[in-house]
Amino acid sequence: MVSNATESEAPQGAELMRPGRSGLGRLSGNPVLRWIQNLDVPIVVLAVGLAFAFSAGNVQFLVATMAIYALLAMSANMLVGWHGTMTFGHAAFFGVGLYFVALMRESGLNPFLLVAIAGVLGGVVGLLFGLLTIRLSGIGFAMMTLVFGQVLYLLVFTIPALQGDNGIPSVPAGKLFGLNLSLPRNFWWYALIVIGICFLLIKMVYRSSFGRTVLAVRDDALRAAALGVPVRAVRIMLIGLSGFFAAVAGALFVQQQSIASADMIYWLTSGELVLMCLIGGTGYFWGPVLGATLFVWLDSQLFKDISYSSLFVGIIFLAVVLLFRGGIAGLPHQISGWVRRWRSRREAKAVQA
Amino acid sequence: MGQLISAIMNGIATGVPLFLVSSGLTLIYGVMGVLNFAHGALFMIGAYALATLLTGQVTNIGLFLLCAVLAAAVVAAIGMAAERGIFSWLYNAGHMINLLAAYALMLILVGLSILIWGTKIYNVQRPTELAGAVDLGLLSIPVYNLFTIGLGAAVAVGLWLLISKSSYGVKIRAVAYDRTTARALGVRAPLIGMGVFALGGALAGLAGALTAPLISVAPGIDAAYALQSFVIIIIGGLGSIWGALIAALAVGLIQSFLVYYAHDWAAYGMYILVAIVLLFWPQGLFSRSASTAH
Amino acid sequence: MNGAAPDERPIVLEVIDASKSYYGVPAVSEMSLSVRQGETLAIIGPNGAGKSTFFGLIAGEHKSSSGRIVFDGTEITRWSANRRARFGMSRTFQVARFFPSRTVRENLQLARVGRTGRYRDIVRGFSWAAKADEDDVATVLDDLGLSHIEDSLAANLAQGDRKRLELAMAMVQRPKVLLLDEPTAGMSNEDCALTVDTLKRIRSADPALTIVMTGHDMEVLFSLAQRIVLMADGRKVIDGSPEEIASSEIARRVYLGDANE
């Protein structure tokens, strides 16, 4: 693979997906399925909301956490899955939202407003980062995301107001329309609505011309450039959007957990995000949601008291990388591929006999 | 003045284990196209292995060295096993897939380490001959630092001889440049792969063993050293061992100077360095894009 | 403009003393070229003559070490490839490149998006917005015989269809200058003949379109081009009509490698 073109402007995430017949972003031919595909976000949000509407407080707390991570993973997948660009610093944008709301804990501002501003901040930081890394690609870019994430991590220790490891405690969730959001039930609906809105926005971007262009750049950046697409500008914009949603997730997270601390944005957390996307399936819109849900469940339920849990996470991850690159969402397609090949081999044998 | 020399010596001594870890990392990337995220874990296992072998006792330099070499051998074996078990299946899968596989390996190795050694802190003692400091009037230099620097220089020379003067080195460079052609010319690429992973592992394990007496051996040191070695090979240029050497020494020196003169900024040293370097040399200091192409 | 005598048509593309070296080895040396609107030009030369590099300089794939390029009166020497494409320069690749995970129709729609700048739109749905370009896309699909597979995944296309898709993507951009990199490379005789036919149709359909080709298939290039430029060792050797080149002693020597030349 020695080539003159730079260690490829082309992102290499394309191998992670098997486009085939169920490639990323394909609208079904069947009209009924098509309607479902267009309305999937509201349907899912409503279904999930109703499913847990009357659950116990701690269950709602857990599911809200899953939803927040789902949003975070989704924002990371905008880079990893849509654009094919690996990122190991995404926790930094999460941290922007996290710490912004933590610092504003005494402002008494409307929590929704805080989340929105946090998002904008995350978007701006994303744009800046995109500009800084404009000439980098592939491994170099991935490493710089790592560096960037770590610099922000260090800042949390250096800037006294951010209190490093000790964390900023007692961050109130706030009151919305008179409802106290620190109650799990209220927070659940609040988070669901905010996340639902974000998912609608993400879906909108995904279906837009910009989104399609991003998918094209993932396939072949050089070709896209030869067609007039300003590949670098597109990536910068994408990082900005991705940063926005990650920061929203961070803001919601601190509102739920009431505490912000540095370990939440260590680079290994960013690695976990990539894992979530992969396990769920980077090539499918809902993949990251599946991955995040599974991961949070494993982490908080199954692996809760196991100190060596990373062993199991690593094995799962390895299995996905070696065997199941389409992730959970890609399993149906993968299995149907196996069945097809098994069938044709059987037919070939029958013909020979 | 004394403080200046002290800072310099300290910086070089800090840079040596960083060089050992980074050289293995950059070698594996340059030859196999794998950015080994698990390299920090290999370092950590080297430290744990030494701690286990020495069981906290103070020993003489001979035994210490023997155990350090054994620890490095253990890690080399792990490296080879990883190559056979994981990376040999991913030769043609591209940088990103290999990187993710290495990340998975890191998680597995860290988990295994905690399973085997638990979360308590291990302490390793310096051998008696190397415990003190050399008093030079203006300053005193820890003997262990001198030992480290000497060992580092020996390894650097050994690596250089291996890569540029030996026939094995020629084969390594051939595979790094163009695997397919190398194989067509009769180079046994899978053997080279195993060898490079073993060598990289040995270097990381040796670094871990060397650093063990200076730190608390506990979970988490893997992440710190992994991070530093990534930044170092970016600065030095992916695939370049010279670059790893220069960059590791630079990082060691910068950190040392910052610790002495601007303590609060010490941790930022290498990030400032990488930002500056990438501004002028986006591919790192010593990258030769053609020869590191994969 | 169509009725103007060939030499009165405006110069649409001008390369002035362009050079490009790789690690000190010159691939193109002080190459100059003026192309008039509506011309069909072919750049030929033996292997290593520098045709591909020169082609890449025009397309923006490589940056020249020196010299200037002027397109439609505007200095584009420092422009990136994507900017040139938006300005009206569309190109094809020797080995067909496209977006495998998208359908044939979507590939063309994406080519339109690149040209019109609609990639900026993060709000309006792609399929909805694509309606504006629907006619263009449908016409090109028809012209290039791709209508029957417009909803197939590009990854699943047969070899001949791939090259056609490649050409379709360039055509749907309604370029001022069409750059064709070895348009018949690796094609069977049938596909070759089909491609030549298609290109002849494109040629006659739009007299204002300027076509610059490069390649090795003399029969094809000579039958399509009105003007041939022969390159050797990174320089222009001769520049003339197909008949002039075919009967040129210099051309023969370049190809047969006379040591004294």
**What ipTM was reported for this prediction?**
0.89
| Band of residue C243 on the pLDDT scale cut at 50, 70, 90 | confident
Any domain includes B292? no
Any domain includes B210? yes
**Overall domain count for chain A:** 1
Distance from CA of A320 to the nearest CA of C (A): 21
Which residue does chain B place closest to A318, by CA atoms?
B104
Neighboring chain B residues of A321 at a CB cutoff of 8 Å: 97, 100-101, 104
Distance from CA of A24 to the nearest CA of C (A): 7
Amino acid A27: pLDDT: 63
Contacting A residues, span 207-226, partner chain C, CB-CB under 8 Å: 207-213, 215-216, 219-220, 222-226
What DSSP string describes B177-198? H-HHHHHHTT--HHHHHHHHHH
Instruction: Please check whether residue A61 is in contact with residue A256, taking contact to mean a CB–CB distance below 8 angstroms.
Output: yes
Residue-range definition of the domain harbouring residue B227? 2-280
Rounded Cα–Cα distance for residues C59 and C24 (Å): 22
Instruction: Please check whether residue B207 is in contact with residue B46, taking contact to mean a CB–CB distance below 8 angstroms.
Output: yes
Any domain includes A188? yes
Question: Are A136 and B35 inside 8 Å of each other by CB?
Answer: no
Question: Are B100 and A7 inside 8 Å of each other by CB?
Answer: no
Rounded Cα–Cα distance for residues A54 and A56 (Å): 7
Any domain includes A325? no
Any domain includes A345? no
Instruction: Please check whether residue B31 is in contact with residue B214, taking contact to mean a CB–CB distance below 8 angstroms.
Output: no
Reply yes or no on whether the pLDDT at B129 is more than 70: yes
Any domain includes A276? yes
Any domain includes A119? yes
Question: Are A211 and C90 inside 8 Å of each other by CB?
Answer: no
Question: Are A150 and B227 inside 8 Å of each other by CB?
Answer: yes
- The end-to-end CA distance of chain B, in Å, is 47
Q: Which of C91, C110, C125 sits opposite A213 (nearest CB)?
A: C110
Going residue by residue through chain A (353 aa), what tens digit of pLDDT does each one get?
Answer: 333 333 333 344 444 554 333 455 666 667 777 777 778 888 889 899 888 888 888 888 999 999 999 999 999 999 999 999 999 999 999 999 999 999 988 887 888 999 999 999 999 999 999 998 888 888 889 988 998 999 999 988 888 888 877 778 777 777 777 778 788 888 899 999 999 999 999 999 999 999 999 999 999 999 999 999 999 999 999 999 999 999 999 999 999 998 888 888 888 889 999 999 999 999 899 999 999 999 999 988 888 888 889 999 999 999 999 999 889 988 988 898 889 999 988 888 888 76
Reply yes or no on whether the pLDDT at B241 is more than 70: yes
- Rounded to the nearest 5 degrees, what angle is found at the Cα of A207, between the Cα atoms of A204 and A210? 95
Strands C227-232 and C235-240, how do they pair?
antiparallel
Which range among A203-207, B263-267, C237-241 shows the weakest confidence by mean pLDDT? B263-267
Rounded Cα–Cα distance for residues C79 and B137 (Å): 63
For C177-223, the pLDDT digits (tens) are 999 999 888 888 888 888 899 999 998 888 899 999 998 888 888 88
Query: Which of B90, B95, B177, B229 to mutate against chain A (most A CBs within 10 Å)?
Result: B95
Rounded Cα–Cα distance for residues B99 and B36 (Å): 6
Any domain includes B72? yes
Element (H, E) at C210: strand C210-214
Question: Are A19 and C81 inside 8 Å of each other by CB?
Answer: no
- Rounded to the nearest 5 degrees, what angle is found at the Cα of B119, between the Cα atoms of B118 and B124? 90
Q: Which of A24, A25, A225 sits opposite C82 (nearest CB)?
A: A225
C131 and A CB contact within 8 Å: no
Reply yes or no on whether the pLDDT at C256 is more than 80: no
Residues 6+ apart with CB under 8 A from C7: C36
Question: Are B108 and A311 inside 8 Å of each other by CB?
Answer: yes
How distant, in Å, are the alpha carbons of B213, C1, C3, C37, C108 from that of C200? Answer: 78, 20, 19, 16, 21
Mean pLDDT along residues B231-256: 92
A161 and B CB contact within 8 Å: no
Distance from CA of A204 to the nearest CA of C (A): 6
Mean pLDDT along residues B13-17: 92
Give helix A184-207 / helix A111-132 axis angle, nearest 10°. 40
Question: What tokens were used for C49?
Answer: 């003559």
- pTM score, two decimals? 0.90
State the average pLDDT for chain B.
88
Question: What tokens were used for A113?
Answer: 């407003």
A27 and C CB contact within 8 Å: yes
Q: Taking the CB of residue B161, how many other CB atoms lie within 10 A of it?
A: 11
Rounded Cα–Cα distance for residues B184 and C115 (Å): 44
Q: Which residue has the higher pLDDT, A106 or B19?
A: B19
What is the domain-level CATH number for residue B232? 1.10.3470
Any domain includes B289? no
Question: Are B293 and A12 inside 8 Å of each other by CB?
Answer: no
- Rounded to the nearest 5 degrees, what angle is found at the Cα of C242, between the Cα atoms of C237 and C243? 105
Q: Which amino acid is at C114?
A: G
Question: What tokens were used for B291?
Answer: 């020869």
If 0-12 CB within 10 Å is exposed, 13-18 middle and 19+ buried, where does residue C152 land?
A: middle
Question: What tokens were used for A2?
Answer: 């020695």
Nearest to C44 by CA among C217, C192, C259, C203: C217
If 0-12 CB within 10 Å is exposed, 13-18 middle and 19+ buried, where does residue B276 land?
A: exposed
Q: Which amino acid is at B50?
A: L
A208 and B CB contact within 8 Å: no
Question: What tokens were used for A330?
Answer: 């890609």
Instruction: Please check whether residue A218 is in contact with residue A83, taking contact to mean a CB–CB distance below 8 angstroms.
Output: yes
What is the domain-level CATH number for residue A296? 1.10.3470
Mean pLDDT along residues C102-107: 91
Q: HSE of A290 in the Cβ direction (CA atoms, 13 Å)?
A: 16
Any domain includes A337? no
Q: Which residue has the higher pLDDT, A244 or C94?
A: A244
Residue identified by tokens 């800090």 is B14
Rounded Cα–Cα distance for residues B239 and B287 (Å): 7
DSSP B22: H
Any domain includes A328? no
Amino acid B292: pLDDT: 35
Question: Are A216 and C99 inside 8 Å of each other by CB?
Answer: yes
**Overall domain count for chain B:** 1
Amino acid B278: pLDDT: 83
Neighboring chain A residues of B294 at a CB cutoff of 8 Å: 1-2
Question: Are B111 and A1 inside 8 Å of each other by CB?
Answer: no
